A and B are shown apart, each in its own frame.
Chain A
Amino acid sequence: MKAIQTEQLSLGYKDELIIEELDLTIPKGEITVFIGSNGCGKSTLLKSLARLLKPKDGSVELDGKDIDKTSTKDIARQLAIMPQSPTAPEGLTVLQLVKQGRYPYQSWYRQWSEKDEEAVQYALEVTGIKEFEDRTVDSLSGGQRQRAWIAMTLAQDTDIILLDEPTTFLDLTHQIDILDLLSDLNEQEGRTIVMVLHDLNLACRYADHIVAIEGKSVFEQGDPDEIITPQLIHSVFGLQCQVTCDPICGAPMCIPYSKQRQMKGANRYATQQVQAN
C-alpha cells in the first residue's frame, strides 16, 4: 500500500537542482524517516510532498492523484505538514493555535462545528496540553510548544502527517517524548508519518522505513535493520562509524569514530558491562 508516490520528480530553486528525477514511494500506515547530510534536499523533498514547493518537473501523487491537479483544500483534509520551527504570533493562545488546524473544514460562517470541537479536544488531550489551552504559545517551554504545533497538525485530522525535524531544539527527554507520541499515533490509529530527523539513532529506532538521500536522489531505502551499514553511513554522511545493536530496542545504532578520542575510558565501560551481566 502506498500513501504518496513521486514520479520523475525534480526539485530545485532557481537554476539549481536539488532532487533529480526521483521515483519514491511512501508506504501507507508506516513511519518513514528521511535522513541525509545538511543541504541534501530532505526538507525540500518533504515540502514538495505537501505541495509547498512546486516541482521543476515530474509529479507527486497522493492516493494515485497528481497533487497539482487536486484542489488544495481536498489535500489539506488528507495530508498535514508541520514545518521546521514554526513561529506563532505574539499573544496567540494554545487553543487559538490548535483551532487553526480545522481551517480546511471551515468557512467564514462555519467556524466551530461540533466536529471541529471534537477534533480540537482530541488533539489537545492526546498531546497532553489540555491544561495549557488558555496560555499563550510564546509562554510555553520548548517541549510544550512543540506539542502545541503537533496538536494543531492533529486537529487537521489527516491520515498522513509530515513533520520537518519535529525534535530540533529539544533536549533528549523531550525528543523521546515527541517521538513516542508520534509512534503511538502511528500504531494506534494507523496514521502514516513521514518525517525528517537529524539524529540517526533515533531515526533507526522509530522508523519502519528509512530513506537515505544523497546525490540529488535516494541513495538507499528500506527497513533500518537491513539497510543501515557502516558503508551506507559513509556514503551518505561521509562519516566513519561502527554499527551495533541498540541495547534497548534492538535497532541499528551508529557509533561514529573521532580523530583524537579513541578508546578513552573503554575499560571502564567494559567492566560495567561485566558487572551488569
Chain B
Amino acid sequence: MNNQQFPFRFGKVSFLFDKKSFYIISLLTVLAIVTMVISLGIGQLFISPVDVIRAILGQGTDMQNLVVNSFRMPRILLSMLAGAALAMSGAILQGLIRNPLASPDIIGITGGAALTTVMFLAIYTDRSNTLTLSIHWMPLASFVGAVSIGFLVYFLARKNGRITPFRLVLIGVGIAAAADALTSLLMILGPIHSASKATIWLTGSVNGTNWNEVITLAPWVFGITFILFIYTRRLNMQELGEDLAKNAGQLVQRDRFTLLLLSTSLAGGAVAFAGGIGFVGLMAPHIARKIIGSAFGALIPVSALVGGMIVVIADILARMLFMPLEVPVGVFTSIIGAPYFIYLLFKSRK
C-alpha cells in the first residue's frame, strides 16, 4: 500500500484504515463539539463558550448550570442524534437504491410517522381539547408509523420474491402521497388543538426536549449504528449493483431486507422524538459523499456528523432569528434542503 492507508492486523482481525478519512472524521467530530458548545450558549440568556464548558463541568453559576445542563443540553443532544440518525438512514437508502435522490422522506418513512402521529393526536384528544393519553406515548405512535410504512413499501415493492430499487422508489413516492393526504384529512377533521400540535410535529421540532427522550433515543441510535458497521461491507457491495453483489456471494435479497430495516429504524427513532425534520436524510449523505467519497466505512460516520451538525445549526437559527418566538427546526432544514434537492435534480438531468 502507499502511505494513504494503513492496515491493522491482530490475529484473525484485520482492517484497512484510510488516513484521509481518519483526519476528516476527527476534524468533523471536533467541529460538531464546537457547534454544540456554541449552541449551548445561545438563547435568551447568552453564555460564552468558556462559561458553557464550566457549566457542563458543574462549575458555572446555578443559573448557568440549570440553563445549560437541564434546558439546552437535551435539545441539542437530541438534535445531534436525530440529525445523525436521519443522515445514516439516508446514506443506507442511497446505497441500496443506488440513487443520490433517495431519502427517508421520499420513500414514505417520514410520511408514515406523520400519519400515525396525527392519528394519535386525533384519537386521544377529547372534546375539551385535552389529551386523554399521556403525550409520552406519541413517539411510539410515530415510530410504529415509520416502521409499518417502511415495511408496507417493502412488501408492495416485492415482485416474484425480489425487490428492485426502482419499484421501491415508485411505491414509496405513491405511499408517501397517500399518507400525506390522509394526514391532511385528519388534521382538517380533527380538533383544532391537535391540529396545531400536529403542525409543529410535522415540521420537526426539538423544543422542550427533556433528558428522558435523549436517554431513550441514544442507545437506539448507537445500537443500530454498531450493527450498521457490521453491514458496511455488504452495503459497499450492494452499491455495485445486484449482479456483482450476487457474484461476490452475497445473499442480496436478505441483505436488502436487513438494510432497509436498519434504515427505517434509524429514521423512525429520529422522527419519533424530533418530528418530521425534512431533507436532512437527503442532504447530509450527499454532502458527506462529496467530502469523503463512496466507501461506507467512512461515509456512514461522516454522514452522521454532517447530519447532526445540520440539525444543530438549524436549531440555532430556529431559536435566534425570530426571538422570542421559536420556529420549528424543520423549517430551516427545509429552507436549505428544498433548493438543494432541486439543484440535485437539475444536476442529475444533465
Contact = CB atoms under 8 A, between A and B. Distances in A.
Contacts of A113: 9, 14
Contact of B240 (A75, A81, A100, A109): A100
A15 to B, nearest CB: 13
Interface in B230-270: 230-233, 236-237, 239-241, 243-244, 246-251
Contact of B98 (A52, A80, A89, A136): A89
Contact of A103 (B95, B230, B237, B243): B237
A76 B240 contact: no
Contacts of A219: none
Interface residues of B, number: 39
Contacts of A106: 233
Interface residues of A, number: 44
Contacts of B2: 133-134
A112 B2 CA distance: 15
Contact of A52 (B8, B100, B247): B247
A134 B5 CA distance: 10
A87 interface: yes
Nearest to A114: B9
Given A111-B16, A112-B16, A88 B240 contact: yes
Contacts of A71: 249
Contacts of B9: 112-114
B289 interface: yes
B249 A72 contact: yes
Contacts of A101: 248
Contacts of A112: 7-9, 14-16
Interface in B209-239: 229-233, 236-237, 239
A86 to B, nearest CB: 6
A93 B15 contact: no
A141 to B, nearest CB: 20
A83 B241 contact: yes
A108 B247 contact: no
Nearest to A76: B249
In the A-B complex, list the 5 residue pairs whose CB atoms are closest, starting with the nearest.
A76-B249, A73-B249, A112-B16, A91-B293, A103-B248
22 contacts: A51-B246, A52-B246, A72-B250, A76-B249, A86-B241, A87-B241, A90-B100, A100-B237, A100-B244, A100-B248, A103-B233, A108-B229, A108-B230, A108-B231, A108-B232, A108-B233, A109-B13, A110-B12, A110-B13, A112-B16, A113-B14, A134-B2
Interface of B: 1-2, 4-5, 7-9, 12-16, 95, 98, 100, 229-233, 236-237, 239-241, 243-244, 246-251, 289-290, 292-295
